[in-house]
Amino acid sequence: MEPLIVGALIVLWSISLATAAELRVRFEPAESEATVPDRFRLESHTFPYVMRELPANWWGSIKEYEVTFPSPVTTPFACNNTVHCEYFAPRGTGPHAGVVVLHILGGDFELSRTVARTLAVRGVGALFLKMPYYGPRRPEGPRVQMISEDLDRTVAGMTQAVLDIRRGAAWLAARHEIDQARLGITGISLGGIVAGLAGGVEPRFERVCLVLAGGDLEQIIRQSVETEEIREVWSKREFNLEEVRSRLRVVDPLTYAGRLKSRQVLMFNAKLDKSIPPDCTRKLWRAVGEPEIHWWNSTHYSAFWFLPTACIQIGDFFSRPAAGSAESSQGG
């Protein structure tokens, strides 16, 4: 029996290596790449990735994978230079829509996983991407955050997030089960803000869903209950608010919102939100072209009770056929 056991272990070890093998993806700029702002532009290139299937979960038929690839940006923190994602494979035959899913400021990954799993059940491939300095990307020792009182680091972190997302979109588009013409992005709170930013600069995103998000970063940081510590530091440094607004403008979704007028956009927001001021939501909504928007009678946190229904609506939004497709013209 011992040789059989050893042989079985060798086979399992070989399978493990195969499922976690390094593969490669080609990033090819879109035809409209020349219109992408310089700070977010990427040249044609190939990048490696590693993909490993995760243990079965209680969702049953939904297969989940761990995916990592190098960030296009190199920072002083080695752990932050690898992008960590989780891919939730769509159920059923393809080709399917593919969506990048982003997390909240506090880094509650389970919320994003729930959205991603719901999308996969609806036949949408979902790539949950962990943004710079979150989860395994957060260095030990001094506290380093993507959004902080350090304006330069905040701008650099959000820029890196968008470039990471662009590689994530290329990874999704390369999947055989994903329809390259039906890529999208969604996020909640901070994830929604970054989704609005990335959606505005990544030409491949046909659909964008923003949940509890807004524009005008200076106003959000100045008024949000989430950013009191940042304001305290700014008050000691005597930052001029116009200077803050000017420096943050390059990563403000409001700056690029007009580029979303030609896309399909869906928004969900809270009437009593003290984390993302409703005025900032309205600014973004108007700049995008006044797309479909749902206002919940809730605060930022009590909006949690609306999310189950919202997940169904988000699934409907991303899973429906592209406009002009044969399935769409048949009312499917």
Evaluate whether residue 38 is within a structural domain. no
Evaluate whether residue 263 is within a structural domain. yes
Torsion sign, CA atoms 168, 172, 175, 180: negative
Evaluate whether residue 246 is within a structural domain. yes
Helix (H) or strand (E) holding 51: strand 45-53
Helices of type H across the chain: 2-19, 109-121, 151-174, 190-201, 217-223, 228-237, 241-248, 253-256, 278-288, 307-319, 326-329
Instruction: State the pLDDT at residue 18.
Output: 40
Instruction: State the pLDDT at residue 92.
Output: 76
Tokens of 128: 């949950």
Total domains, the chain: 1
Instruction: State the pLDDT at residue 60.
Output: 62
d(CA 74, CA 90): 32
d(CA 144, CA 148): 8
pLDDT by residue for the chain (332 residues), tens only, comes to: 344 333 333 333 333 434 456 899 999 998 899 999 999 999 999 999 999 999 877 656 789 999 999 999 999 999 999 999 999 999 777 899 999 999 999 878 999 999 999 999 999 999 999 999 999 999 987 788 999 889 999 999 999 999 999 999 999 999 999 999 999 999 999 999 999 999 999 999 999 999 999 999 999 999 999 998 888 888 777 767 788 899 999 999 999 999 999 999 999 999 999 999 999 999 999 999 999 999 999 999 999 999 999 999 999 999 998 765 545 434 43
Q: Are 156 and 162 in contact (CB under 8 A)?
A: no
Instruction: State the pLDDT at residue 108.
Output: 81
Evaluate whether residue 291 is within a structural domain. yes
Evaluate whether residue 12 is within a structural domain. no
Q: Are 178 and 94 in contact (CB under 8 A)?
A: yes
Q: What residues make up the domain containing 67?
A: 50-319
Instruction: State the pLDDT at residue 17.
Output: 38
Evaluate whether residue 296 is within a structural domain. yes
Q: Are 42 and 29 in contact (CB under 8 A)?
A: yes
pTM, rounded to two decimals: 0.90
Instruction: State the pLDDT at residue 332.
Output: 36
The 10 Å Cβ neighbour count of residue 17 is 9
Evaluate whether residue 31 is within a structural domain. no
d(CA 329, CA 55): 40
What CATH number does residue 287 fall under? 3.40.50.1820
Evaluate whether residue 22 is within a structural domain. no
